[in-house]
Amino acid sequence: MIRRLRGQARDWKRRSLRFRPGTRPNLAIFGIRRGGSTLLADMVAAERGVFFVDEPFAVFAPQRPFHHEIRAALPERMHGQLFDMTPEECQAVEAFVSRILSLDLRIGAARRTRGLGIADRVAMKILNAPLLIDWLVGRFDLRSLILTRHPAAQARSVLRLGWGFSAEAYFASDPFVERHFDAEQIRVGREILAGEDLWSKAVLNWIIESWIPLREASPALPRLSYEELVVDGERILPDVFRHLELDAIDRALALLARPSGSSRMSTASTQQAIAAGDTQALVGRWMDQTDEDERRRGQEILDLFGADLYVMDDPMPKRRLHSSAVGEEGS
């Protein structure tokens, strides 16, 4: 009864919300599953006047709110992955996003409104369209950020939850793999996906979902790693918020010390590390959960695909991502 009443109250609040677009741009946070995007999304959603849309391209997620609206609007694709679209599919996606950004389609919520129930901009957290980053940002003039996380940490979390591998959709497409990979990379990638080694599949999946976007999206789009956000958030967040034209920095910093909205999918030890402010444990816990052979196999995949941002024996990225585009645009 209480849950139903709360749901009815949220529905009434969403329907009664007034949308008055302001001068600040709409936002898009591009990330990877279990990559820290919910933490950053919680920070963005803490801003007054932001109508937040969580994973608008999650076609195959029947447990999520607004599943029927999303599935009815978007093309059916293997694993719900949108890439190499036909003109008709592009039109469908464009119409769908246009409805979201105008709030004609309200598949989200505003946690903190301006005045009496007013929203003035829309923010989206996007995970299922890694190859559409430049298209979406350019077509809709979005202020954006690309977030990544160590492939071993992300892979371990995905495997623990028993999720599938979107890489299957990409490697099933000859035009895609021939455009992005050489013959040896294609051979090994398809061999991994046809085999039984789930760990290698999960690391390969990171190549598709995170490394390809990081490598091929416009250099003008800022990048950020989960590790930098967690370990060095107090210094990084002001630059990030200036870039995104957000003001609620104090609320964002407070959220660093709390479990994110996806913490229900984290282990008890991870939640304890968050509560204790143990940032090193948060970024490096996966090292105690992987053995030497897994790290060796993972490193071979990273090396084969030229993914040089991380190594399997260090929880932190080899180079900082936030200090270039974000810092310059925010200054």
Nearest C-alpha neighbor of 46 from the set 109, 101, 106, 111: 111
B/e letters for 314-324, b = 16+ CB within 10 Å, e = fewer, are ebbbeebbbee
- Helix axes 198-206 and 183-194, enclosed angle (nearest 10): 140
pLDDT of the residue at 285: 85
Q: How many CA atoms lie within 13 A of 99 on its CB side?
A: 16
pTM above 0.75, yes or no: yes
User: What does the pLDDT look like over 147-195, one tens digit per residue?
Assistant: 999 999 999 999 999 999 999 999 999 999 999 999 999 999 999 999 9
Distances (CA, A) of 307 to 5, 169, 223, 238, 303: 49, 20, 15, 29, 6
Mean pLDDT over 33-57 rounds to 93
E strand or H helix at 88, and its extent? helix 87-101
Nearest C-alpha neighbor of 203 from the set 322, 304, 314: 304
- Please report which confidence band the pLDDT of residue 6 belongs to, taking 50, 70 and 90 as the band edges: low
More confident residue, 298 or 256: 298
Mean pLDDT over 278-283 rounds to 70
Quick check: 327 pLDDT over 60? Answer: no
- With a pLDDT cut of 90, the percent of the chain lying above it is 69
Residue labelled with tokens 């709030």: 103
Nearest C-alpha neighbor of 154 from the set 318, 317, 304: 317
Query: Which residue segments constitute the domains of the chain, with CATH numbers given?
Result: 2-330 (3.40.50.300)
Give CA–CA dist 28/5, Å, rounded: 31
CB 107 within 8 A of CB 65: yes
Nearest C-alpha neighbor of 274 from the set 162, 150, 264, 320: 264
- Please report which confidence band the pLDDT of residue 62 belongs to, taking 50, 70 and 90 as the band edges: confident
